[in-house]
């Protein structure tokens, strides 16, 4: 059973955010994809972190994935993928660029793909 997502709860969390880019992103997503808006509106401490090693096990070659949280650079990513995330560590960014993987911030992806269609959500 899917959890009902309260837009009021998203609004309350949104008031605590100070990053204007993040606020605009959440506002745009609230209408098109409320589940992801709720995840982005959650406190940063509760957002997950994922290492490249774990990411390598969870994704297939050529996939486009969305991760709400920070991608860390521990391990290797053997596959060429397209990853959209909240943030990347410097080492993860370098390793992904070396591996010819495409990286993008969620804010940038929403400008191109407002509904975030074609992306597999990784948690």
At which residue do the structure tokens 């992306």 appear?
Answer: 119
pLDDT digits (tens, 9 = 90+) for 19-52: 888 888 888 888 888 888 888 988 888 889 999 9
Q: Which residues of the chain have pLDDT under 50?
A: 1
CA 26 to chain CA centroid, nearest Å: 12
Rounded Cα distance between 33 and 51, Å, is 26
Q: What is the pLDDT of residue 120?
A: 93
Q: What is the pLDDT of residue 8?
A: 84
CA distances (Å), origin 2, targets 5, 19, 35: 9, 29, 10
Query: Which domains can be identified in the chain, with CATH numbers?
Result: 7-122 (3.100.10.10)
Rounded Cα distance between 51 and 65, Å, is 14
Q: What is the pLDDT of residue 7?
A: 79
């Amino acid at each position: 059973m899917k959890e009902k997502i309260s837009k009021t709860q998203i609004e309350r969390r949104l008031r605590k955010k100070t990053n204007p880019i993040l606020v605009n992103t959440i506002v745009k997503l609230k209408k098109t994809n409320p589940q992801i808006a709720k995840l982005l509106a959650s406190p940063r401490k509760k957002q997950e972190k994922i290492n490249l090693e774990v990411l390598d096990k969870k994704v297939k070659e050529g996939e486009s994935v969305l991760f709400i949280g920070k991608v860390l650079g521990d391990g290797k990513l053997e596959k060429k993928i397209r990853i959209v995330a909240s943030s990347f560590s410097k080492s993860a960014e370098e390793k992904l660029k070396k591996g010819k993987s495409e990286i993008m911030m969620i804010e940038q992806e929403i400008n191109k793909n407002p509904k975030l269609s074609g992306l597999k959500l990784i948690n």
